[in-house]
């Protein structure tokens, strides 16, 4: 059985979609949720699904011995709204085995601080006619790893940042779990 760890810092809607997608899967399961945020919704989702959790601080994620021990049974790591940078030792320990989703069409609207609603506010500010999602491999820089796939959605001038977020989340929940299935193989 292949084991996935999901790293998330927020509400956890993507984590939820992925957990549901793998629930009946006979070859792969989500066996660990890692968060840096003790208040995050993703902890409740983990509890509801009987999935083991770990809370790691910024310093904690740099502790290679602790993290390697935590992840010793894990085959694949999925970032789903995780705010901390993945350190180089972790990227090297999981070559092409860590992926992230970004709520925009990278390289646009990426980088440090570009997270969640801030991304959609910037898209709105620039009167973009389309936005979308990017799923990419993770390297040691924010949002810079090789792109795996992108999906677009059309925007109208009437769309608020919140509407944009809703449209983008629909794409995320539709495409991210399917992509994880393909990548984990």
Which positions lie near ligand GAR, rule CB under 6 A?
A: 8, 10-15, 80-81, 101-103, 114-116, 119, 172
Q: Which residue is nearest to ligand GAR (CB)?
A: 81
Cα 84 from Cα 137, distance rounded (Å):
15
Residue with tokens 């001038």: 157
Concerning whether 120 is annotated as a catalytic residue, the answer is no
Burial 159-185 (b: 16+ CB within 10 A, else e): beeeebbebbbebbbebbbebbeebbe
Cα 165 from Cα 95, distance rounded (Å):
31
**Rounded alpha-carbon distances, angstroms, from residue 162 to 93, 122, 159, 167, 170:** 37, 12, 8, 9, 13
Nearer CB in complex with ligand GAR: 13/69 = 13
Q: Which of 21, 102, 136, 173 is catalytic?
A: 102
Minimum distance between the CB of residue 149 and ligand GAR, rounded to whole angstroms? 14
Nearer CB in complex with ligand GAR: 73/174 = 174
Minimum distance between the CB of residue 162 and ligand GAR, rounded to whole angstroms? 12
Cα 144 from Cα 177, distance rounded (Å):
21
Minimum distance between the CB of residue 68 and ligand GAR, rounded to whole angstroms? 24
Which residues are the active-site residues? 102
């Amino acid at each position: 059985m292949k084991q996935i760890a999901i790293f998330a810092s927020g509400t956890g809607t993507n984590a939820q979609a992925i957990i549901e997608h793998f629930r009946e899967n006979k070859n792969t399961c989500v066996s660990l949720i890692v968060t840096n945020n003790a208040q995050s919704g993703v902890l409740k989702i983990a509890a509801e699904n009987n999935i083991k959790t770990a809370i790691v601080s910024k310093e904690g994620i740099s502790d290679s011995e602790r993290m390697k021990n935590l992840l010793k049974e894990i085959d694949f790591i999925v970032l789903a709204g995780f705010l901390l940078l993945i350190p180089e030792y972790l990227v090297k320990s999981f070559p092409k085995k860590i992926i992230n989703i970004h709520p925009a069409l990278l390289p646009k609207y990426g980088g440090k601080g570009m997270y969640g609603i801030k991304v959609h506010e910037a898209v709105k500010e620039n009167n973009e006619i389309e936005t979308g999602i990017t799923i990419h491999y993770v390297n040691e820089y924010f949002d810079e790893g090789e792109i795996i796939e992108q999906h677009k959605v059309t925007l109208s001038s009437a769309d608020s940042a919140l509407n944009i977020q809703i449209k983008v989340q629909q794409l995320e929940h539709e495409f991210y779990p399917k992509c994880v299935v393909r990548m984990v193989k």
